[in-house]
Structure 1
């Protein structure tokens, strides 16, 4: 997490005026449903756009364990996303091996530390594609 609950609260309260810009990059809010609790869990994450989709990385700073939000969305891929004041439902999926190199380069351009994180773990760090659900 970037700044945890405080980051989430300020982002929501200000429609992202506080919290969208973060350490030289941009952050969104991702809300998943806890796979054990069934409760909504909101996490601030660095993101980038790729066409109509948004990209996030399940790095957990290079930990050998994936972040809980990633485990949650694998169980239930329908998520909520907030970018600034835009809140919407999305379907989350892990980038395929064929598309990952291009998407990884987009994400490391926004946050170069992702490349360092890969050196800390044997775990394959996924890029997650968030596809807006239109009703």
Structure 2
């Protein structure tokens, strides 16, 4: 059953990614009105590139925060382990595509970003209740100029 659930989530993610790219970063459904980005990491074990749609929050000049909630599941999402192993990532935001470096937010910054995202997505509080500890808040800091779509 877990494999079927994972397959359904991956299929849903692919549909969101297609809609994001076809509509220059605008997505409907549960993401309607929210800021969404596509995060591409390199698989920690496989080395393969993996792209995930994530709700995001502006975190200052050239920085975006994402939240490793994994829907409240009892483990961190795969993308989180991937960026811990390799913090250099690619981000798609609207029509832009750029390289970024990922780092966990800590202290006051983490608390400020967490509170701001809870105001936008209150369901995160439910996810926190079943998560294996505090949900990581990850800050993606833009590095340099836009990159081509094949990067």
TM-score using structure 1 length: 0.90
Across the aligned residues of Structure 1 and Structure 2, the Cα RMSD in angstroms comes to: 2.0
Question: Residues 61 and 18 from structure 1, CA distance in 2 versus in 1: closer, same or farther, beyond 3 angstroms?
Answer: closer
Greater helix proportion: 2
Query: How many equivalent pairs are there?
Result: 135
TM-score using structure 2 length: 0.81
**How far did residue 101 of structure 1 move?**
0.8
Give the counterpart of 1:68 among 67, 78, 86. 78
**Runs of 4+, deviation exceeding 3 Å:** none
Which protein has greater RCO, CA pairs closer than 8 Å, 6+ apart?
Answer: 1
Give unpaired runs (5+ residues) of structure 1.
none
Give unpaired runs (5+ residues) of structure 2.
1-8, 146-151
2:69 and 2:131 in contact (8 A); partners too: no
Mapped partners of 1:107, 1:16: distance in 2: 19
Greater strand proportion: 1
> Which is greater in Rg?
2
Q: Which residue of 2 aligns with 1:119?
A: 129
Deviations 1:5-60 (A, max 9, x none): 111122123321446x8144221100000111111100000011021210110000
Question: Residues 35 and 122 from structure 1, CA distance in 2 versus in 1: closer, same or farther, beyond 3 angstroms?
Answer: closer
